[in-house]
Copies of this chain bind each other. A is one copy, B any other.
Amino acid sequence: MRQKLTVRLQERSYDIHIGTDLLDQAELLLAHVPRKRVAIVTNTTVAPLYLERLVNTLRSVGISSHEVVLPDGERYKTSKTLDLIYDALLQSRCERSTPLIALGGGVVGDMTGFAAATYLRGVPFIQIPTTLLSQVDSSVGGKTGINHPLGKNMIGAFYQPQLVMADISTLSTLPDKELSAGLAEVIKYGLIRDLQFLEWLEKNMQALLARDSAALQYAIARSCSNKAEIVGIDERESGERALLNLGHTFGHAIESGMGYGVWLHGEAVAAGTLMAADLSCRLGWISSPDVARVRELFKRARLPVVAPDLGSEKYLELMGMDKKVEGGKLRFVLLKQLGHAVVTVDVPLPLLHETLETCVHG
């Protein structure tokens, strides 16, 4: 079974294919590789699992491939690793028409996308996400980039792929911890704009954790559908798209404060979303039972619901450097109700302090 969604962005529109064993289906890729040559970027974890399979599929239709295997991990999402991609592309003389394929999770996708955006001022880009997190979030929407010692994703570009292929079969090798991390972003879609989906998740969390194919495919397709709608309305995050950052202002502070890679992104987003829910409750927008319901769902997804105790001042400092700051004011994505998020700059500092002090205790 294979589903297709479209991200509608005029001349930058593209399809997302979701299904099982897509890695074996050459016809999806063929149309995007007119010159029968690609460069595949992956990492040391994914390469032994899926690289040969992809290369063979490509070869079966006469497409040759150059391969770039990066070290695995968020801590390698740096300009130094990016240079490894550039060097390989230049050494193998990849041209403006040579597509870059990202085979891996969010880090591989973000870096490969940024390399595609900037190599020879832009080459075609194809996403083959192999983690739940990247299948439901980072592979769709065109955000690409690398980290900087002073902040996460500070350097990057909006650059849309030509094709996204989410192969559910690749999730069979995903560690449990990373499956859960991906579920944090899945739950996010329910919280910000899709109450019905949130209810579906509450009913089907067990099936998702058991990696039931049908449940996963439904959750991925519904997540991508939500994301595609938002990105279609607001490609460059001038409005609506900011809602996707629910939990991310706190989450980035957690990731950065703990050192990149210590907490998985999805784990930080889960704890951060609980903080956002707590703050929304303090503003009188959602109820305590609502917060408890969110906490329960994250817990069932085996995600952390207590933030690390960095100290309030450290949190504020880390959030002050966050790139979602405009005009000196901190912007928060909070919940008006479950299934309805809003962006606000009007958060009284005392309430923020209460949240920062409360949410670090279980």
B90 touching A151, Cβ below 8 Å: yes
**A114 to B121 alpha-carbon distance, docked (Å):** 10
Closest Cβ neighbor of A142 among chain B residues = B121
B93 touching A155, Cβ below 8 Å: no
* The residue from B86, B143, B153, B325 contacting A155, defined by CB atoms under 8 A apart: B86
B326 touching A96, Cβ below 8 Å: yes
> Shortest beta-carbon distance, A157 to chain B, in Å?
6
Q: Interface SS of chain A: helix, strand, loop or mixed?
A: mixed
A119 CB–B CB distance under 8 Å: yes
How many copies are assembled? Answer: 2
A118 touching B121, Cβ below 8 Å: no
A30 CB–B CB distance under 8 Å: no
Residues in B with CB closer than 8 Å to A155 are 86, 118-119
Q: Which of A35, A79, A95, A118 has the most CB of B within 10 A?
A: A118
A258 CB–B CB distance under 8 Å: no
**Which of under 10, 10 to 19, 20 to 34, or 35 or more describes the interface residues of A?**
35 or more
**A326 to B95 alpha-carbon distance, docked (Å):** 6
**A326 to B236 alpha-carbon distance, docked (Å):** 31
A56 CB–B CB distance under 8 Å: no
Residues in B with CB closer than 8 Å to A236 are 121-122
Binary contact track A149-170/B, C-beta < 8 Å → 1, others 0: 0110111111000000000000
* The residue from B117, B158, B325 contacting A93, defined by CB atoms under 8 A apart: B325
Q: Which of A79, A119, A120, A321 has the most CB of B within 10 A?
A: A120
**A96 to B156 alpha-carbon distance, docked (Å):** 12
A287 CB–B CB distance under 8 Å: no
Residues in B with CB closer than 8 Å to A90 are 148, 150-151, 154, 321
Q: A90-B150, A121-B144, A121-B236 are in contact. List 6 more A-B contacts (CB 8 A).
A: A93-B325, A95-B323, A97-B326, A119-B155, A120-B154, A120-B156
